[in-house]
Amino acid sequence: MDHIFQWLAIAIFVLLMISVGFFTMRRTKTTADFFLGGRKIGPWISAFAYGTTYFSAVLFVGYAGTLGFSYGLSVLWIALGNTLIGSLLAWMVLARRTRKMTVRLNVMTMPEFLETRYDSKTFKLVGALTIFIFMVPYSGSVYTGLSYLFVNVLGIGYNQALVFMTALTAIYLAMGGYYAISVSDFIQGLIMLVGVVLMVAYLLLHPSVGGVGKLLTSLKEIDPELIKAFPRGGLSILWLTLLTSLGVWGLPQMIQKFYAIRSEKVITTATVVGTIFCLVIAGAAYFIGSTSSLFSQEIIALNPEAFPGASTQALKLAEAREQLGEAMSDNIFPNTALIPQILKLTLPNALLILILLLVLSASMSTLSSVVLVSSSALVIDLIQGYFLPNLSRKRSVLLMRVLCLLFVGVSLVTALYGGKWPYLVTLMSFSWGTVSGAFLAPYLYGLFWKGVTKAGAWAGFLSGLGFSIMSFLYYMLRPELQPLIKEKAPLIGSVSMLLPLVVLPVVSWLTPQFSREHLSRVFGEEEGRASKPVAATPQGKKREVAVAKG
């Protein structure tokens, strides 16, 4: 009976998502409609779209469980960093400037922005390829994490769960594009908010936790480090906070939300709503992860095949935690199963399906945004930008839909072959750090500083991209170092972002500046203060029309 109810709830959710795709398909007629929703997205939908794209199954199944088990309550620093830096400051610093400049320049994608800002077609080409290539493992890691949740909650096979997820994402995304994503994000965001509040409440009431007071006492008895604000290995928390908070400033699928805002007037509302959403979701996920050590005995009892001969009655909680930790380190017990099994232990079946839909919602939002940004990198930046500049409006939208399906297929293959990959968090960190490391400095400095040179922008882009790739290869190609990659991934990702922030200004100070005419086109007459009027080129007229419409 419970399984019938669970599948019925999933069926209703699937029908709702497909209905959203069908409804929004009629409003999707141009590439701008498909990729940016016509720049008509309001504050609440924009805020929810940002938040639901931020968090996925990797947060709930990968980061929160694995890190909470290792570091205890100190992982709440990551939630705080995500809220203040990843959401509040991102909206305050980036949103208004991004919307204003992208409308002025008539650009829709990150590679288009780099091409126009730095007067370099090659920048668009390389940027588009970077997005498409390195978003595949990111997307694959989300599919992998979500499939593990399906396996543990519904008891279906990993491959079947994977195929179901990819098919659902492909159908509703290919139908409606960004507008479909935005509307579904709002629905999914509401599910997430209700789900995490109930999840935390049931968790606190469970005998293994027993409320906040008993939680602190029990964690201290297991290991006093679990309740310290700055435990041993605190630097790892710092790097993870930096990677997952500042990193979103350079991720194209996150920045896209600022492009699509209806007007600058709605940004204040979106900032408040988005920050509250982030605080609730991230805070709940990492708090649940921090309690995972308290369920060590129950998890061992649930998995006799992974712990043959283990008697949980004879094991103290600290001993059970140590044994569980060793099993995860040796890949005998997958760390991705930690949170799903805790949810099975603490939640009634009716609520468990809501939590499954919660993680499904978060993951679908992230996946659809990643797929859309990646397919646009090929259609808008490569095919229309280089090979078929006169491609009709109808055919360009059709091509976007086809390439969305192609990217989903490639991600599916990645996740299928990565089903036994033990480094879900590592894969996410590598993709996140590589893409953000490449784009963060050229994008951030390009918005505010007129002194960025073409050479400086390229130096920032290549230093972040190169450091991440070379570091990953250094560990992966040396078998004796491979076990260290999980530990080093957040550090590598963080350095990949920070290094270009230093390299770009240094190179810009040493290389020729852009002309005042170019800066006038980029920043506007009032900001660029060009000494000569800008020539009235066809391209310039096109941009003037775009500004007027914005």
In a domain, residue 213? The reply is: yes
Q: What's the mean pLDDT when you consider all of the chain?
A: 77
- Reported as a single tens digit per residue, the pLDDT across 361-414 is 666 666 666 766 766 666 666 666 566 666 666 666 677 677 777 777 777 776
User: Shortest CA distance to 43 belongs to which of 283, 194, 257?
Assistant: 257
Residue 35 near residue 255 (C-beta atoms within 8 A): no
Q: How confident is the model at residue 180 (pLDDT cuts 50, 70, 90)?
A: low
Please report the pLDDT score of residue 544 as a whole number: 37
Please report the pLDDT score of residue 538 as a whole number: 39
Highest mean pLDDT among 154-163, 280-289, 321-330: 280-289
- Reported as a single tens digit per residue, the pLDDT across 343-362 is 888 888 777 777 777 666 66
Which long-range contacts link 328-336 to residues 24+ away (Cβ below 8 Å)? 328/66, 328/69, 331/422, 332/306, 333/299, 333/303, 333/306, 333/307, 334/148, 334/422, 335/62, 335/65, 335/66, 335/69, 335/422, 335/424, 335/425, 336/61, 336/62, 336/65, 336/144, 336/145, 336/148, 336/424
Q: How far apart are CA 226 and CA 364, in angstroms?
A: 32
pLDDT at 543 > cutoff 50: no
Q: How confident is the model at residue 550 (pLDDT cuts 50, 70, 90)?
A: very low
Is 41 or 496 the better-scoring residue by pLDDT? 496
In a domain, residue 453? The reply is: no
pLDDT at 439 > cutoff 90: yes
pLDDT at 33 > cutoff 70: no
In a domain, residue 488? The reply is: no
In a domain, residue 484? The reply is: no
- With residues binned 3-state (H G I as helix, E B as strand, rest as coil), the percentages for the chain, rounded to 5, are 85, 0, 15
- First CA to last CA across the chain, in angstroms? 53
Please report the pLDDT score of residue 52 as a whole number: 78
Please report the pLDDT score of residue 394 as a whole number: 63
Average the pLDDT over 501-513 and give the result. 95
In a domain, residue 203? The reply is: yes
Q: How far apart are CA 434 and CA 169, in angstroms?
A: 24
Average the pLDDT over 427-448 and give the result. 88
Please report the pLDDT score of residue 526 as a whole number: 46
In a domain, residue 454? The reply is: no
Q: How confident is the model at residue 533 (pLDDT cuts 50, 70, 90)?
A: very low
SS3 for 475?
A: helix
In a domain, residue 390? The reply is: yes
pLDDT at 25 > cutoff 70: no
Q: How far apart are CA 361 and CA 217, in angstroms?
A: 34
Highest mean pLDDT among 56-60, 133-137, 308-312, 520-524: 520-524
In a domain, residue 12? The reply is: yes
In CATH, what number is assigned to the domain containing residue 415? 1.20.1730.10
Helix orientation angle between 393-417 and 158-205, rounded to the nearest 10 degrees: 80
Q: How confident is the model at residue 259 (pLDDT cuts 50, 70, 90)?
A: confident
* Paired tokens of 418: 């990565």
Quote the domain boundaries for residue 381. Answer: 2-421
**Least confident stretch, 34-38, 379-383, 540-544:** 540-544
Q: What is the CA radius of gyration of the chain?
A: 23
DSSP-derived secondary structure letter, 337? G
Please report the pLDDT score of residue 269 as a whole number: 92
Helix orientation angle between 338-346 and 267-290, rounded to the nearest 10 degrees: 80
Q: How confident is the model at residue 540 (pLDDT cuts 50, 70, 90)?
A: very low
**Based on the structure, what is the number of domains in the chain?**
1
pTM of structure:
0.79
* Paired tokens of 533: 């009027």
User: Shortest CA distance to 338 belongs to which of 54, 67, 55?
Assistant: 67
Average the pLDDT over 464-480 and give the result. 86
